């Protein structure tokens, strides 16, 4: 569902514009690192992610999933590596499997719209306006022509869905 983002990433990959690609994702990589590590370590791990991605991009590696998914998965692995022994293989074998099915879960995991995809349409609209556009609750109610309480209920459902997704 992140079609425009994926299209832009494909364009940047084709143009070998690695700096723009990495600059696009570096803030979210660093923020994810900061969720789990103090700053000096977070900076170092975020840089390891950038290094790994830059190396693969320079080698012309082709990915079976959208680049945004690659970034997030490499970030997850690199954070895990930081707490465990260093890995020599930067790319898990399962990512080289040719069949598309293994990646369906990745798409759901890496796209908020898909994560909320089976909620009622009005709830999805509320969640998209809040978590993709950043509108405040009153503005969402006004835009959709619903009560503020309905906005809160939709956000509650979205929060519950996220909790289910993390196994909570």
Using CB under 8 A as the criterion, which residues of the chain lie in contact with another protein when the complex forms? 2, 5, 18-20, 22-28, 30-32, 34-36, 40, 43-44, 47-48, 50-51, 54-55, 58, 68, 72, 76, 109-112, 115, 130-136, 152, 155-156, 159, 162-163, 165-166, 168
Q: By C-beta, is 91 or 131 nearer to another protein?
A: 131
The least distance separating another protein from the CB of residue 101, rounded to whole angstroms, comes to 20
Q: Are 111 and 117 in contact (CB under 8 A)?
A: no
Q: By C-beta, is 124 or 130 nearer to another protein?
A: 130
The least distance separating another protein from the CB of residue 111, rounded to whole angstroms, comes to 6
Cα angle, residue 3 at apex, residues 54 and 63 outer, rounded to 5°: 35
Q: By C-beta, is 5 or 122 nearer to another protein?
A: 5
Distance CA 42, CA 152 (A): 34
Q: Are 112 and 132 in contact (CB under 8 A)?
A: yes
Q: In whole angstroms, how far apart are CA 58 and each of 16, 18, 55, 74, 138? A: 8, 8, 5, 16, 47
The least distance separating another protein from the CB of residue 62, rounded to whole angstroms, comes to 19
The least distance separating another protein from the CB of residue 137, rounded to whole angstroms, comes to 9
What are 76's two structure tokens? 């997850």
Q: By C-beta, is 146 or 152 nearer to another protein?
A: 152
Contacts 24+ apart (CB under 8 A), 86-89: none
The least distance separating another protein from the CB of residue 51, rounded to whole angstroms, comes to 6
User: Which residues are CB-contacts of 106 (< 8 A; sequence separation ≥ 6)?
Assistant: 65, 69, 73
Q: By C-beta, is 38 or 98 nearer to another protein?
A: 38
């Amino acid at each position: 569902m992140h079609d425009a983002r994926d299209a832009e990433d494909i364009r940047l990959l084709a143009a070998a514009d690695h700096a723009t690609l990495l600059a696009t994702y570096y803030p979210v990589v660093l923020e994810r690192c900061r969720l789990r590590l103090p700053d000096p370590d977070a900076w170092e791990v975020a840089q390891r992610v950038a290094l790994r991605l830059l190396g693969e991009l320079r080698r012309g590696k082709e990915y079976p999933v959208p680049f945004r998914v690659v970034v997030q998965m490499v970030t997850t692995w690199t954070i895990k590596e930081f707490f465990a022994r260093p890995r020599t293989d930067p790319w898990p074998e399962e990512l080289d499997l040719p069949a598309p099915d293994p990646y369906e879960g990745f798409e759901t995991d890496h796209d908020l719209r898909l994560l909320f995809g089976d909620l009622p349409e009005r709830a999805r609209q509320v969640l998209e306006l809040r978590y993709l556009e950043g509108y405040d609750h009153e503005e969402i109610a006004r835009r959709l022509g619903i009560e503020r309480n309905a906005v809160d209920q939709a956000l509650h459902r979205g929060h519950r869905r996220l909790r289910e997704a993390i196994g909570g």
